[in-house]
């Protein structure tokens, strides 16, 4: 699949990705799981470039779920180190490419140095506007929704929010990144077909695309094929075909 095959007028504004299968990719090659994660970082770099070339404006990647904290300590530590290493080595390139980095998730749970490096990258890329790369880290959608409810309840308590005025926008505005548009397309690799507590609120009208390849094998062409597939769907948002 070539980028030229795509309809430039129907490029998804926001793509969300569940990058799955790093562990199985490594196991198949008799390697340590962390080698799969390292190759996974390469796939992230390819995907960021491919999104920029296709003019996708937002890319959200599921890098570490709240549930992932329960993995063996050695894997959790390796993932954190890998992230710090990747951010430090890629910051210049992110800036060169015009990428603005943001995160969603319970960042307070991250090790101190990871938090510092992440914040530094967010600060140093905040004025870029070609692509917003949202990294979901220590993220769980139910956690995000519970936090949003707490914020709203606290505003009600303080008299700053009337219960009758609570609407979808109130919830939206209470999410980790209030002005983040909903994803148009969700891609999950590795053949699994579930959401795994990812963006449950935001994916209400998103198109889903599943691919059997493991994440480290994900190529530019796979992204373009996913976009091509998306472009050939009819998004009705509850209306009839005739109304669209």
Spatial neighbors of 219 by CB under 8 A, at least 6 apart, are: 46
Is there a catalytic annotation at residue 68? Answer: yes
Token look-up 């691919």 returns 211
CA dist 162 to 110, 146, 165, 166, 172, Å?
35, 19, 5, 7, 16
Number of H helices, E strands in the chain: 7, 6
For ligand FPP, the binding residue among 83, 152, 211, 226 (CB under 6 A) is 83
Return the range that interacts with ligand FPP (CB under 6 A); candidates 16-24, 94-102, 173-181, 232-240.
16-24
Judged by CB under 6 A, does residue 41 bind ligand FPP?
yes
Cβ proximity to ligand FPP, 218 vs 230, nearer residue: 218
For ligand FPP, the binding residue among 12, 21, 105, 140 (CB under 6 A) is 21
Contact letters for ligand FPP, residues 107-126 (x by CB under 6 A): --------------------
Contact letters for ligand FPP, residues 135-154 (x by CB under 6 A): x-------------------
Helix (H, G, I), strand (E, B) or coil at 106: coil
What's the DSSP call for residue 234? -
- Choose the catalytic residue: 32, 55, 68, 95: 68
Judged by CB under 6 A, does residue 6 bind ligand FPP?
no
| Minimum separation from the CB atom of position 157 to ligand FPP (A) | 37
User: DSSP alpha helices (H): ranges in the chain?
Assistant: 22-28, 33-54, 73-97, 112-125, 141-157, 168-173, 220-231
Spatial neighbors of 28 by CB under 8 A, at least 6 apart, are: 214
Is there a catalytic annotation at residue 20? Answer: yes
105/142 Cα distance (integer angstroms):
11
Judged by CB under 6 A, does residue 103 bind ligand FPP?
no
For ligand FPP, the binding residue among 68, 155, 161, 170 (CB under 6 A) is 68
Binding site for ligand FPP (CB under 6 A): 19-24, 37, 40-41, 44, 63, 68, 83, 86-87, 135
Residues labelled as active-site residues: 20, 68
């Amino acid at each position: 699949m070539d980028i030229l095959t795509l309809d430039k007028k129907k490029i998804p504004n926001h793509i969300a990705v569940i990058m799955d299968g790093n562990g199985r990719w490594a196991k198949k090659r008799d390697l340590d799981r962390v080698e799969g994660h390292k190759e996974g970082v390469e796939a992230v770099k390819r995907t960021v470039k491919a999104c920029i070339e296709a003019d996708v404006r937002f890319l959200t990647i599921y890098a570490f779920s709240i549930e992932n904290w329960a993995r063996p300590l050695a894997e959790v530590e390796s993932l954190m180190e890998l992230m710090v290493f990747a951010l430090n080595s890629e910051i210049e390139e992110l800036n060169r490419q015009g990428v603005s980095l943001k995160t969603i998730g319970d960042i307070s749970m991250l090790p101190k140095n990871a938090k510092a490096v992440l914040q530094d990258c967010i600060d140093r890329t905040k004025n870029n506007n070609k692509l917003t790369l949202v990294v979901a880290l220590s993220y769980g959608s139910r956690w995000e929704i519970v936090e949003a409810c707490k914020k709203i309840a606290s505003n009600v308590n303080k008299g700053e929010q009337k219960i009758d005025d609570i609407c979808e926008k109130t919830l939206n505005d209470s999410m980790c990144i209030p002005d983040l548009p909903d994803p148009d397309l969700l891609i999950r690799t590795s053949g699994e077909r579930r959401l795994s507590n990812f963006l449950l609120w935001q994916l209400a009208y998103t198109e889903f695309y599943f691919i059997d390849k493991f994440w480290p094998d994900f190529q530019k062409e796979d992204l373009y094929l996913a976009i091509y597939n998306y472009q050939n769907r009819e998004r009705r948002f509850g209306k009839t075909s005739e109304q669209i």
